Structure 1
Amino acid sequence: MRGHGAKYEPLTVARLGALLVGVDETRRWRLVAEFLEEYRWEPPEQRPTLLTDEPTPTGDAHWDVFLAALAEHLATKDGRGAPAWADTRSLRRFWFPFNTRAARVDAVVHAPAAFRRRGVYVSAQELNVA
């Protein structure tokens, strides 16, 4: 419980997008991990509300598309459709956020469909969404 009577508010994908603006990659991945952790702890009936609002642009097309893929991936895992705003986002060129040879091979094999369709190659293991 966060102090001073403040009601706990889980991180939404829209808020996550705002937090990604102007921070380095390491911080971005930490924020994604925090979002995923909070998402997992939310009751399934509350989870769609965390994905509903469209994030404003982060200033980096890769991350804008990543957020759409993440929202669709999580909605699909919960047996729901992706939020409408996520449909329009995709990359023209493939993006491998973890760009080592091993990570690229792993991502090509294991990238979830929501990411692969948009040209973002990140393995489910790297997302830590087991």
Structure 2
Amino acid sequence: MRGVRADSGLSVRALADAAGVAASTVHRIEQGELQPTVDMLRRIVEAAGMRLRIDVRPDYSASVVGLARSIVSDNAAEDRTGPVRKAAELAHRFRVTDPETRRRMITAAPPATGDPRWDAFLAGLAEWLAVQTDMPVPGWTRHDSRYLRRGWWVTRMPSMRAWEYAGSPVSFQSRGVYLHRDSLTNI
């Protein structure tokens, strides 16, 4: 917000007066002490002679829903490493964020990816993340469609399968998905 005001050449008071808000409100927004509504932010930005644009894009590290959407594209490209790398990024983001954001990241059931292996993978990932942070495991992870009838090693290298099996978290193993935990923690 400070950059918007500086670019406009307005003082805190002048910008606040033009936007119809208190100067203390602009100051608190600039200090990160107040989270404005979109409408208030729009008014302040327009008073500074600018236009507010909100850009919404898919983000695979925002939630398991975003990751599922990304996996659909990766599957079409026959990319097995992309989803694992992206899942590791999601796991990292999950670990460093606040509890409410964590809840949002895993609570909603992701759409089917078109590949039951990746659907089971997503459930295993969500359960693993929940267990690591003492959160309730989302109910959608227990649906029958989130378990495989035959085991699946994410890696295509047979020489790695024993390592993958030995290091797979229980939440993945119980679904028939074998992927070493290091693949999800070393980004």
Q: TM-score scaled by structure 1?
A: 0.84
Indicate if the aligned counterparts of 1:39 and 1:50 stay in contact, CA closer than 8 A. Answer: yes
Q: Does residue 63 of structure 1 match 2:118?
A: yes
Q: Does residue 22 of structure 1 match 2:79?
A: no
Q: Letter of the aligned partner of 1:124 in structure 2?
A: R
- How many residues align? The count is 127
Structure that is richer in helix per residue: 2
**RMSD over aligned Cα atoms:** 2.4
Higher relative contact order (CA 8 A, sep 6+): 1
Q: What is the alpha-carbon distance in structure 2 between the residues aligned to residue 69 and residue 110 of structure 1?
A: 14
Q: What is the alpha-carbon distance in structure 1 between the residues aligned to residue 149 and residue 135 of structure 2?
A: 26
Asked which structure has the greater CA Rg, the reply is: 2
Q: What is the alpha-carbon distance in structure 2 between the residues aligned to residue 128 and residue 44 of structure 1?
A: 19
Aligned CA distance change for structure 1 residues 85 and 62 (closer, same or farther; 3 Å): same
Q: TM-score scaled by structure 2?
A: 0.60
Q: What is the alpha-carbon distance in structure 1 between the residues aligned to residue 150 and residue 174 of structure 2?
A: 11
Q: Which runs of 5+ in 1 are unaligned?
A: none
Q: Does residue 44 of structure 1 match 2:95?
A: no
Post-superposition CA distance 1:87-108 (Å, at most 9, x none): 0110000000013234211122
Q: Which runs of 5+ in 2 are unaligned?
A: 1-51
1:81 match: 136
Q: What is the alpha-carbon distance in structure 2 between the residues aligned to residue 106 and residue 97 of structure 1?
A: 12
The alpha-carbon deviation at position 118 of structure 1 amounts to 0.4
1:92 match: 149
Q: What is the alpha-carbon distance in structure 2 between the residues aligned to residue 70 and residue 56 of structure 1?
A: 15
> What is the percent sequence identity of the aligned residues?
33
Q: Letter of the aligned partner of 2:73 in structure 1?
A: G
